[in-house]
Amino acid sequence: MLEMKNIKKIYRTELIETHALEDFSLHVEAGEFVAIMGPSGSGKTTFLNVAGLLDTFDSGTYLLDNKDVSRLSDSEMSRIRNQNIGFVFQSFNLIPDLNVFDNVDVPLRYRGLSASDRKRRIEGSLDLVGLSSRWKHLPSQLSGGQQQRVAIARVLAGDPKLILADEPTGNLDSLMAREIMDLLDQINSRGTTIIMVTHSPECAARASREVHVLDGKVLDLERPRVAVTRESPTTAGLASSLN
Residue 180 CA to residue 89 CA, distance in Å, equals 12
- Select the residue interacting with other proteins from 61, 110, 120, 230 (CB under 8 A): 110
Asked if 183 contacts 229 with a C-beta cutoff of 8 angstroms, the reply is no
Residue 91 in the binding site for other proteins (CB under 8 A): yes
Q: Are strands 209-214 and 33-37 parallel, antiparallel or unpaired?
A: parallel
Residue 109 in the binding site for other proteins (CB under 8 A): yes
Residue 79 in the binding site for other proteins (CB under 8 A): yes
At residue 181's C-alpha, the angle toward residues 105 and 121, to 5°, is 20
Query: What string marks each residue from 141 to 180 as x (binds other proteins by CB under 8 A) or -?
Result: -------------x---x----------------------
Give the nearest distance from C-beta 55 to other proteins in angstroms: 4
| Positions in 42-61 near other proteins (CB under 8 A) | 45, 49, 52, 54-55
Residue 206 CA to residue 181 CA, distance in Å, equals 7
Count, residues near other proteins per rule CB under 8 A: 29
- Select the residue interacting with other proteins from 111, 119, 120, 230 (CB under 8 A): 111
* For the chain, the helix, strand and coil percentages under 3-state DSSP, each to the nearest 5: 40, 25, 35
Closer Cβ to other proteins, 85 or 189, answer by number: 85
Q: Are strands 2-12 and 17-28 parallel, antiparallel or unpaired?
A: antiparallel
Residue 216 in the binding site for other proteins (CB under 8 A): no
Residue 199 in the binding site for other proteins (CB under 8 A): no
Evaluated on CA atoms 181, 187, 190, 193, the torsion sign reads negative
Supply φ then ψ for residue 241, to 5 degrees. -70, -20
Give the nearest distance from C-beta 38 to other proteins in angstroms: 16
Instruction: Supply the DSSP symbol for 172.
Output: S
| Contact set with other proteins (CB under 8 A) | 45, 49, 52, 54-55, 74-75, 78-79, 81-83, 87, 89, 91, 93-98, 106-107, 109-112, 154, 158
